[in-house]
Amino acid sequence: MNTETLWVIQLGKLKDFTQEVVRAHVEHIRRLDDAGKLVLAGPFEGEPAGGLIVIRAGSVGEALSIAEMDPFVAQGFESCTVRAMTPACRTNNYLLD
């Protein structure tokens, strides 16, 4: 079975964003995408405010480093939690094997 571990970064808003930090956050996401590490990212709708970033990383340490480099986190605009996730899909028989 070929199952890739993904890393989920859950963000929780702590204070209102500035335009500068939003631009820096988007550039962080863009760099992850350019490096082939970004799976998906986006804000949650409604309250509580926050968002989710799903990445490819070689270890929990790398995933934590990526999360902590996000300007939203590094500058105290959002908190973060990092968790490993095993995706269920057709190629791994939805983890039944």
Who has greater pLDDT, 40 or 4? Answer: 40
pLDDT of the residue at 97: 85
pLDDT digits (tens, 9 = 90+) for 34-47: 999 999 999 999 99
pLDDT digits (tens, 9 = 90+) for 44-89: 999 999 999 999 999 999 999 999 999 999 999 999 999 999 999 9
The pLDDT of residue 2 is above 70: no
**Cα distance between residue 66 and residue 50, in whole Å:** 17
Structural domains for the chain: 6-95 (3.30.70.1060)
Cβ partners under 8 Å of residue 1, min gap 6 = 92, 93, 97
- Total-model pTM: 0.92
